[in-house]
Amino acid sequence: MISTAIPYANGAPHIGHAYERIATDAFARFKRLDGYDVLFVTGMDEHGQKMQRTAEREGLTPQQLADRTAAQFQTMGETLNALADDVVRTTQPRHAATVLEIWRRMEAAGDIYLAKYCGWYSVRDEAYYDESEISEVEGKKLAPTGTPVEWVEEESWFFKLSAYADRLLAHYEAHPDFITPDKYKNEIVAFVKRGLSDLSISRTTFDWGIPVPEKPETNAKHVMYVWVDALTNYITATGFLTGEGDRTRFWPANAHVIGKDITRFHAIYWPAFLMSAGAPLPKQIVVHGFLFSRGEKMSKSLGNVVDPIDLATRYGVDQLRYFFLREIPFGQDGNYSHEAIVNRINADLANDLGNLAQRSLSMIAKNCGGKVPSPGELTEADRALLAEAAAALEKARAAIDAYAPHLALAEIFGVVGDANRYFAGEEPWTKKKTDPKRMETILYVTAEALRRLAIPLQPFIPSAAASLLNLLGVAESARGFASAGETHALVSGAPLPAPAPVFPRYVEEAEAGDKG
């Protein structure tokens, strides 16, 4: 099981959501092609004070706002070819049942008690902050995230988070890859070592949430703190706590893919809740950085917030997927710009991969009767390229196991570059007259190298990779990673469809107009 974080339902998708969804989809596709039983989960975080206030401003009920936003995220997933196997909305009855179960278990463990809460609260972050974390700018109290905070005093149920510091530290030490990359693990370890305070896990100042089971000692009706509610969505998808459905085998999750701003909730609160509830912990918290537009953080005030669907429409879905996964070292902050996206499209996809496929397959169509060529004896250069193309999958597998899609793509496209140099250096067009058998061999080796590369490219650029495999005559049943090796090589004499472009160059509108 692999999951994205669940977006908060008070706003439309932005490019950060798209990046996380694309990356998680690529990880899920890769594992599925590698023979794993995969459950890819996302969701919607639909409760909380922020939802209630936003809905009121827009003249909607909170549920109407949640439904509208959920539809927008569904459209984003469809557009980016990154649909999840399950979308857990926190307003669903199955989720309420799971949250009540984890609450009951934490209560039975003696980890929940009633007290009064006083402290600084950020509605936007749905988080409480210590006095030491608060700064003051122009008379406004701000959280470390820069969001305004307000002083809150209310009766609250508390979770004994302080009792779990040692157990958390022991878990981090016993499972050094639990939080990856390391820099985020180091931040979390340092935070926990400074000491943990008990966590307020209910609110009485609003009612848009899952009600806490009523107790005689309470003076007000409580709803669950949004992070208890939201984090539990991951286990809801599997039915592990309630024992419902046929997905319980997927817990514990292999990876929660999240942004760096919510690491504390996933790497401290969530494991502590699960420990208290007697449930296994997820195997990894995989953290990615932020996306910036030309070095600037995106914000409505700067007017640089970009709709990911607009980007996909402008550049192409596979092109956008490739750019984000290849350009940005996963775990680090990244930049995007029109020029950077176009450069990746034209240099890597159109010139290197697309041009090689077009040239080689066109020559096969013209000179080999539209069938897979029949190779002669292979030279050292032939064997070297085929071996390198085969090895790209193993190298990509190692990179994906380390959640480094940029390195996986670097390995594959390194071989694409070598295949281009091989094709240019061997000059099959000159061999047509001087040594036609050698021409066939070069064309076969190039086509077979493309097959071996297109198979591991499927998780990253699924539509284009499928198109290339179609052009190579590769059956749907022979596209898993188990079929990538020599035993499933192209069969000489097999018919091929007419060649077609795989990746067109991106042409600027003005340039396209000039040519018209």
pLDDT at 305: 66
pLDDT band at 508 (very low <50, low <70, confident <90, very high): confident
For 433, the enclosing helix (H) or strand (E) is helix 428-434
Least confident of 238-242, 292-296, 352-356: 292-296
What average pLDDT does range 396-424 have in this prediction? 98
Q: What is the pLDDT of residues 163-196, one digit of tens each?
A: 999 999 999 999 999 999 999 999 999 999 999 9
Specify the DSSP class assigned to residue 280. P
Q: What is the pLDDT of residues 40-67, one digit of tens each?
A: 999 999 999 889 999 999 999 999 999 9
Report the C-alpha gap between 477 and 446 in whole angstroms.
22
pLDDT at 122: 87
Q: What is the pLDDT of residues 248-264, one digit of tens each?
A: 999 999 999 999 999 99
What average pLDDT does range 76-81 have in this prediction? 98
pLDDT at position 33 over 60 = yes
pLDDT at 191: 97
Count each helix (H run) and each strand (E run) in the chain, helices first.
20, 17
Q: How many CA atoms lie within 13 A of 338 on its CB side?
A: 8
pLDDT at 226: 84
Q: Which residue has tokens 């050292």?
A: 380
**Average pLDDT, rounded, for the chain:** 94
- Of residues 152, 29, 120, 34, the one with CA closest to residue 82: 29
What average pLDDT does range 106-119 have in this prediction? 92
pLDDT at position 511 over 60 = no
Higher pLDDT, 150 or 446: 446
pLDDT at 490: 98
pLDDT at position 515 over 50 = no
pLDDT band at 299 (very low <50, low <70, confident <90, very high): low
Report the C-alpha gap between 467 and 150 in whole angstroms.
55
What average pLDDT does range 366-386 have in this prediction? 97
Peptide bond before 181: cis, by omega within 30 degrees of 0?
yes
pLDDT at position 242 over 50 = yes
pLDDT band at 512 (very low <50, low <70, confident <90, very high): low
What average pLDDT does range 395-403 have in this prediction? 98
Contact 275, 196 (CB under 8 A): no
- Of residues 122, 63, 105, the one with CA closest to residue 228: 105
Q: Which residue has tokens 């984003």?
A: 76
Q: Environment class of residue 69 by beta-carbon count within 10 Å: exposed (0-12), middle (13-18) or buried (19+)?
A: buried
pLDDT at 163: 98
Q: In this structure, which amino acid lies at residue 484? A: A
